[in-house]
Every structure is written in C-alpha cells, then in structure tokens.
A and B are shown apart, each in its own frame.
Chain A
Amino acid sequence: MSDPTVVPWPRPAPVARPETVLAVDDVVVRFQTRDAVVTAVDRMSFGVRPGEFISVIGPSGCGKSTLFNVIGGLVTPTAGLVTVAGEPIRGPHPAIGMVFQEESTFPWRTVLDNVAFPLEVRGVPRRVRNEKARDVVAMVGLTGFEEHYPSELSGGMRQRVSIGRTLASEPKILLMDEPFASLDEQTRLLLGDKVLQIQQTLRQTTLLITHSITEAVQLSDRVVVMSYRPGRLKRIVDIDLPHPRTSEVVTSEAFGHYVAEIWGDLRDEASRGMAEAEAQRGGTR
C-alpha cells in the first residue's frame, strides 16, 4: 500500500528559493530494523539563507543526527531532497563542511597537519597548505599548538582542531552536529563565542544540530524546532538578539524569553520521548 506521507520517486524538482543557499525539501528517512520500519525524519522542510546561523533543536531520538547525515550526503533520504544553491545532493558535497559530534581529529597528525588535511587531499603544495593552515589555526585560537598531537590537547581544543580542519576546506556551508556535546558548560559557552566570532568574521553560513536550548539561542539567527519521533518540523523561531553577539547575551532578559519559548515547544516532545523510553525499558524487563 502506498504511504501518503512519502514523496514518490522520481523526486520532485528542486524548489527555487532565491534567498536560500541550502534547502531541505520534504525529507523523509526510514530505517528497517529487525522488527519494524522506523520513520526517523518525516517530511522535514526548511531553508538556510546565505551567511545565516541556523540551529536545529529537538529532543533526544528525534532524528537530528540522521538529518545531519542526510544534509552532509552520508545518508540517502527515503524521499524528498536536499539542495545546495539549487543543486541536489547525491553524496558528500564540496560546498558542505561537516564537524562531527564525536571526537574526530586524526591522532597520528599534528594540529597543523590535521587542519591542512583537506588541502593535502586536494593536492595543494605543502608550503601553501601549511601557510593557509596556520591562518586557520590562529583563527580557532590554537596558535602555539601547531606541532602538538591531539593526545596532548584538551577536549575543547581537539574540537577546535576539527572545526579548523573543516574551515580549511573553505565550505560554503558549515554543518555541525552537537560539536560541544562532550564538553563542560563553561567550555561550551566560550567555544560558542569562538564559533560565533569566526562565523561573524567569515559571514559563514552555519547549520548547527544541537539539543541545548541555550546554545541554540546564544548562537543562532533562527532555531528550527523538531518534534519527537518521527522528527517533524514543529516551528521555526527567529532570534532577534543584537549582533555582534557573545556569551554575555545569556544574561539578557530577551535571551531568557527565547529559552522559555523554545522550552515551551520542546517540553511536551521531550516528555513524550522520556515516557516512550521508559515504556520500552519496562517492556524489556
């Protein structure tokens, strides 16, 4: 029987959105598990404007990371499509640079060699790529650590190396999946400042996947709120806080209002997720 929620093959033509550099159109992702077919993402649509910082937030298990992999071209959606400047994505796209949630530096490479990695694979001569990599290392605040190995750095520094490596490839769109998830709250805030500073300097289009409301409000121009499984678009919240922005914004009254507003959207979804997880745990006992 055909499912009305799934956009049929062939896929629809890309929707022309002149103000959009990245478009997610009616994306559906289904996984076959041992017992059933699970819909992870259901008819998700939104666009990202050039130079914009946009966050996608949702409760645990809502399909955020699946969406990250679809946009990054690592997972093919069951239906719908993602386009970069109107061009459909059919695999990793050179315009998109990915920063992963898990620590992803190459432990056998120094900070400089990690950052220079995308240039090395493109065949850029060593002198040129090292010069470029040094600039990026300075941008992410790691000057003096160029010859250190990741094992000699803190978790926050390693994540900055990953961000630097992605920036060195000069992507049109920086795509990040909870890059600060494993860090403590203070490091997260400071690293958020650093990312925001880089984003504002480069006018870098950035899409951040996160489960932290404060992080989303602190960094973003808009926040895409997802529902619990299957992950659907619940609402898009415009964050009208002044630029240039730093972590000091978290003390403002407007910041608190935005956090409360998004939490209002998320609370029911998170409760539903928690109840479902507890029911599953009870069922397996």
Chain B
Amino acid sequence: MSRTGVDRGPALTGAATLVGLFVLLELAIRVGLVDRYVVPPPSEVITSFGRIVTEENIPQRFAQTALEGLGAGVLITIVGVPLGVLLYRRMVLRAAVQSWVAALAAAPLVLAYPLFLVIFGRSAWTIVMMGFVSGVAPVILKTLEGLTATRRVLIDVGRSLKLTPMQQFRLVLLPAAVPTIFVGLRLGLIFALINVVGLEFLINFGGLGQLINELAERYDLPGTYAAIAFVVLVSVLFFAGLERTERWLRPGR
C-alpha cells in the first residue's frame, strides 16, 4: 500500500465506522427498535443542519462558543503551566497543595456558577472564568508530573554540560515534559468546554449551549442534535489545533 494510503487508512476507517453506525441507528429507528421521539433519525438531523444554520444564526453562536472556549483554554495554559512549574520548583509548596489541586480537579465546580454570576454578572466572562476554573487543575498536575518524570540521564547530560538553571529548564526539562503537559491541556480543555457549553445552557446566555436549550424546549429534536454536532465540531477544531501545536513544540515522536 502507498504511504498516502497508509496515512489515510485510520481516517477512512473512522469515517466508515461513523457512517455505518448512523445507518444502523436509522434502521433501528425506522423499524421501531428505538423511539424516534427520544432519538431522531440521523437523516432528519442531517437535513436540519441547513435550517438551523440559516434560522438560528449558527455562525455567530459557533464563534461565541469557540471564543469562550479559546479564552478559557488560553487562561488554563498561561496560569496552569507556570503554577505546575512553581510546584515542581518548590517542594514545600508542592507537599502543601498538591492534594488540594487534585481535589479541585475532581470537584463539581459547575455548582459554583451562582457565585460567578454574582462576581462577573450574566456575561461571557462568567462562562470563560467557569471554564478556566474547571480546566486549570489537570494542567497544573500534568505539568508537575511531566517535569518530575523527566529522565534523570537527560538532566545529567545538562549538568555535565554546565547548563544554567534557565537553560536546563528551557532546553531539557520543558521539552521533555511537553507530551505530558499536552495530556493535561487536553483534559483541561475537555473540562473547560463542557463547562462553557453547560453554563451557556444553564444561564441561557450566548452561543451553542443557549441554542441547545432553546431547541430542546421547542422539542425540535433534530435541531437539538444538529446543534450538539456543532459543539462536537468546536471540540474537534480545538483538539486539531492542540495536536498541531504539540507536534510543532515537540517533534520527533
């Protein structure tokens, strides 16, 4: 098989699997195995895409959710990574707060949204900050894990070449930790996006989350699922961007 054929193999298999599942679901709904008032037929969801794009102002809503997600993503990176580095450098601080940060990662922070509403008002800031708070803990923990797990021999290579602490960090520790830091960023972004869309839904403000709320209340099930598909698209775009950034920062994998 040609190299291009090998490269495209997984993507084609993935697409074929998805199409196969849709066909099976369509058949199951049409023969009455699945109630069409709970799950609409995929064909109706697909045909509703055009309708919700034109009638529900999807481009503007999509952009708003994507920008709120991006804002939360940028914040979890510029705050989470330095905090992870700080915990790596300061043993006492690490011993004192690591378990608290782990607890924060597992906490259902979305329940604190009324507090954020009081602080930031019913605005995009509430949504961005909720996403940030929900996603920052995994980034801190994974940054710490990546730096701590750097192979001793790589650090010794740096020491043998008399690198300054800054060079050791920039040229050895950080590149070695990049894959683990990106695991944290992926996790953080998942948490952030869930909270962004969830809060748009809850406070009925802004992008795709609000649209899902409205369509669900109108009992427009095909439209609701089509809107959910756009949320998935936001997630796919973010993950593709993260993957490219990781490959750029950490080649050779």
Contacts and interface: CB of A to CB of B under 8 A. Distances in A.
A107 B162 contact: no
B19 interface: no
Interface stretch (B59-67, B109-117, B196-204, B245-253): B245-253
B167 interface: yes
A102 B154 CA distance: 9
Interface stretch (B121-129, B138-146, B171-179, B205-213): B171-179
Given A104-B153, A104-B154, A106-B154, A118 B161 contact: yes
A136 B183 CA distance: 36
A102 B160 contact: no
A72 B162 CA distance: 11
A28 B161 CA distance: 25
Contact of A98 (B160, B171, B176): B160
A150 B154 CA distance: 14
A9 interface: no
Contacts of A121: 161, 163, 167, 171
B159 interface: yes
Interface string B217-253: 0000000000000000000000000000000001111
A104 B162 contact: no
A109 B161 contact: no
A102 B151 CA distance: 10
A172 to B, nearest CB: 14
B156 A74 contact: yes
A108 B160 contact: no
A255 interface: no
Given A121-B163, A151-B253, A104 B178 contact: no
A73 B159 CA distance: 9
A107 B172 CA distance: 10
B252 A104 contact: no
A51 B171 CA distance: 32
Nearest to A175: B160
B79 interface: no
B27 interface: no
Contacts of B157: 98, 100, 104, 106, 165
Contact of A100 (B153, B161, B252, B253): B153
Q: A91, A96, A107, A149 — which one has the most chain B CB atoms within 10 A of its CB?
A: A107
Contact of B251 (A91, A96, A108): A108
Interface residues of B, number: 20
Q: B154, B160, B167, B176 — which one has the most chain A CB atoms within 10 A of its CB?
A: B160
B153 A94 contact: no
Contacts of A108: 175-176, 178, 250-253
A14 interface: no
A107 B250 CA distance: 9
Contacts of A104: 153-154, 156-157
Given A104-B153, A108-B178, A150 B159 contact: no
Contacts of A151: 252-253
Nearest to B164: A121
A169 B154 contact: no
B161 A92 contact: yes
A210 interface: no
Contacts of A117: 161, 171
Interface in A154-187: 165, 169
Given A92-B161, A96-B160, A107-B252, 11 more contacts: A74-B156, A98-B156, A106-B172, A108-B250, A108-B251, A117-B171, A121-B171, A149-B252, A149-B253, A150-B252, A151-B252
19 contacts: A74-B160, A94-B162, A98-B157, A98-B160, A100-B153, A102-B151, A104-B153, A104-B157, A106-B175, A107-B252, A107-B253, A108-B175, A108-B176, A108-B251, A108-B253, A118-B161, A120-B171, A149-B251, A151-B252
Q: 10 shortest A-B CB distances, which residue pairs?
A: A149-B252, A98-B160, A102-B153, A104-B153, A108-B175, A92-B160, A100-B153, A108-B250, A108-B252, A104-B157
